[in-house]
């Protein structure tokens, strides 16, 4: 068997791994590389294999760094099935259609910077390619073994990372032997709001594991709910606005769910809450459709509250004019809007109108990458550039952690322990991590494996 790491090797975006076993060619994920537009453009438009020769694709979950380059795969001739869970199919459909606009925007940006004599940059893909690949989605149930070819079968188990996210167990027949390969996708955490814990799966010959937070210990998510309650109570007292920049997929629904719980328990006073993001609103509908997949806490809530993502006082805003109207809102209000790192989206307009008033609070949740407005807010830089001009930061900034969707070192140990106690781990490969976290996780993982773990190198083919 040969494995080639075509992305998310030594970095955290562009997840894409090629498995070749006999005549079979299977691709695990096909994500977008993200980062500087010029560089990622080249990486995303070229494949290190012939997409037309792939038998099928396994899609672990619907984050864009795992599914976002599937339309390019279709454009280059792939016509096989894309196996994923039901919610992943629904969410990836929405995310890819949204990505069409982002690709068009990126092409416009690159063309503006180009010499007019140079050839125009076309968007990476458009609606035709998204429509084409979405038709290839073949949703399967968690836990059900699927046999697409006589030499391979696979099944999905709960990864606990976002709704629909899956760990994949694949069993290949090679020279009369069964070879078991487990791919974590993005491995979630225990006790995250909404989601089930990651499933424990038995050992394997080959493990491909993510390593994003292989060197971290996370704060518990329950602390964040209490902090959120305190911030809302204080804002209501001071009459200020609370602005919460949040990613449309996952983070927004977690925050709304916490607020719903706090309202039900009467732990926060009545205050108008707005979710101002058309994408979040479409995604929240998918969450509602798949409510049966959530954890026991959500099921308990649903016994007395039919909508875990709605409460009296909460409004989902879609139109531009309603969104702009929020800027004139007086008195205490909570506004949740994308994007989570304040790089784009409607949250920028709300920040413009909020940062200069000390009565207001900006709530930053989770990791903020370098060079983003989110990072500058967390660092409390006194002056901030937002869209067209500079503003003075006089609002309070609260930074909350505890909602990361990736396993920390304790979660990894718990998960590897089970593998070691069953059939053990043969050869492990570490992907989806910056070099320092991959190295830290490798040092831990080696005690569980027969062979020293390998930190995957980009585009290198390994014979196993």
Question: Taking contact as CB under 5 A, which single stretch among the options 13-21, 62-70, 292-300, 322-330 is the one that binds Zn ion?
Answer: 62-70
158 forms part of the interface with Zn ion (CB under 5 A): no
Cα 433 from Cα 446, distance rounded (Å) = 17
Q: In Å, how far from its chain's centre is CA 45? A: 22
155 forms part of the interface with Zn ion (CB under 5 A): no
Q: What is the CA radius of gyration of the chain?
A: 23
Residues 346-365 that bind Zn ion (CB under 5 A): none
Distance of closest approach, residue 162 Cβ to Zn ion, in angstroms? 6
Cα 164 from Cα 59, distance rounded (Å) = 10
218 forms part of the interface with Zn ion (CB under 5 A): no
Distance of closest approach, residue 161 Cβ to Zn ion, in angstroms? 6
Residue 249 dihedral angles phi and psi, to the nearest 5°? -105, 110
Q: Under a CB-based contact definition with an 8 Å cutoff, are residues 129 and 72 in contact?
A: yes
Closer of 63 and 282 to Zn ion (Cβ): 63
186 forms part of the interface with Zn ion (CB under 5 A): yes
63 forms part of the interface with Zn ion (CB under 5 A): yes
Closer of 376 and 406 to Zn ion (Cβ): 406
Closer of 25 and 63 to Zn ion (Cβ): 63
- First CA to last CA distance, the chain: 6
Reduced DSSP (H G I as helix, E B as strand, rest coil) percent helix, strand, coil of the chain, to 5: 35, 25, 40
Closer of 186 and 261 to Zn ion (Cβ): 186
Closer of 64 and 107 to Zn ion (Cβ): 64
Closer of 91 and 121 to Zn ion (Cβ): 91
Question: Taking contact as CB under 5 A, which single stretch among the options 18-26, 178-186, 244-252, 434-442 is the one that binds Zn ion?
Answer: 178-186
396 forms part of the interface with Zn ion (CB under 5 A): no
Cα 288 from Cα 298, distance rounded (Å) = 11
Cα 404 from Cα 52, distance rounded (Å) = 36
CA triplet 36, 32, 384: central angle to 5 degrees?
A: 40
189 forms part of the interface with Zn ion (CB under 5 A): no
How many of the chain's residues bind Zn ion (CB under 5 A)?
2
Distance of closest approach, residue 312 Cβ to Zn ion, in angstroms? 33
In 3D space, the residue among 98, 89, 4 whose CA is nearest the CA of residue 49 turns out to be: 4
The SS3 assignment for 269 reads: coil
Q: Write out the DSSP string of 128-189.
A: HHHHHHHTTEEEE-TT--EEEETTEEEEEEE--SSTT-EEEEEEEEETTEEEEEEE-SS---
106 forms part of the interface with Zn ion (CB under 5 A): no
Closer of 225 and 406 to Zn ion (Cβ): 406
29 forms part of the interface with Zn ion (CB under 5 A): no
Distance of closest approach, residue 438 Cβ to Zn ion, in angstroms? 16
Distance of closest approach, residue 367 Cβ to Zn ion, in angstroms? 13
Closer of 156 and 172 to Zn ion (Cβ): 156
Distance of closest approach, residue 54 Cβ to Zn ion, in angstroms? 22
Residues forming the site for Zn ion (CB under 5 A):
63, 186
């Amino acid at each position: 068997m040969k494995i080639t790491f075509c992305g998310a090797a030594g970095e955290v975006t562009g997840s894409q791994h090629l498995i070749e076993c006999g005549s079979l060619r299977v691709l695990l994920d096909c994500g977008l590389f993200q980062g500087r537009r010029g560089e990622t453009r080249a990486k995303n438009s070229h494949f290190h294999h012939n997409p037309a020769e792939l038998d099928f694709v396994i899609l672990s979950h619907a984050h864009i760094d795992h599914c976002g380059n599937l339309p390019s795969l279709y454009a280059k001739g792939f016509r096989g099935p894309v196996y994923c869970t039901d919610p992943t199919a629904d969410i990836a459909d929405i995310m890819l259609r949204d990505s069409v606009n982002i690709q068009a925007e990126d092409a416009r940006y690159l063309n503006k910077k180009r010499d007019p004599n140079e050839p125009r940059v076309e968007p990476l893909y458009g609606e035709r390619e998204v429509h084409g690949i979405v038709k290839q989605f073949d949703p399967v149930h968690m836990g059900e073994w699927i046999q697409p070819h006589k030499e391979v079968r696979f099944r999905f188990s709960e990864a606990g990372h976002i709704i629909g996210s899956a760990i994949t167990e694949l069993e290949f027949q090679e020279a009369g032997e069964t070879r078991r390969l487990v791919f974590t996708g993005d491995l979630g955490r225990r006790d995250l709001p909404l989601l089930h814990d990651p499933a424990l799966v038995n050992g394997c010959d080959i493990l491909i594991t993510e390593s994003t937070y292989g060197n971290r210990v996370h704060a518990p998510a329950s602390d964040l709910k209490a902090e959120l309650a305190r911030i809302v109570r204080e804002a209501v007292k001071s009459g200020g606005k609370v602005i919460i920049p949040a990613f449309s997929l996952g983070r927004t629904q977690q925050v709304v769910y916490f607020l719903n719980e706090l309202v039900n328990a009467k732990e926060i006073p009545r205050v108008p809450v707005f979710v101002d993001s058309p994408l979040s609103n479409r995604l929240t509908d998918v969450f509602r459709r798949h409510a049966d997949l959530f954890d026991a806490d959500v099921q308990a809530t649903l016994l007395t509250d039919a909508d875990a993502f709605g409460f009296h006082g909460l409004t989902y805003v879609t139109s531009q004019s309603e969104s702009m109207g929020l800027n004139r809102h007086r008195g205490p209000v909570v506004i949740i809007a994308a994007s989570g790192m304040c790089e784009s989206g409607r949250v920028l307009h709300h920040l413009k109108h909020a940062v200069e008033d000390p009565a207001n609070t900006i709530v930053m949740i989770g990791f903020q990458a370098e060079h983003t407005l989110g990072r500058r807010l967390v660092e409390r830089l006194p002056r901030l550039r937002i869209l067209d001009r500079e503003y003075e930061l006089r609002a309070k900034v609260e930074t909350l952690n505890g909602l990361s969707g990736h396993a920390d070192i304790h979660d990894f140990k718990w998960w590897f322990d089970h593998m070691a106690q069953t059939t053990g781990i043969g050869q492990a490969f570490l992907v989806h991590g910056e070099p320092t976290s991959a190295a830290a996780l490798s040092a831990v993982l080696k005690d569980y494996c027969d062979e020293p773990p390998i930190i995957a190198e980009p585009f290198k083919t390994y014979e196993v």
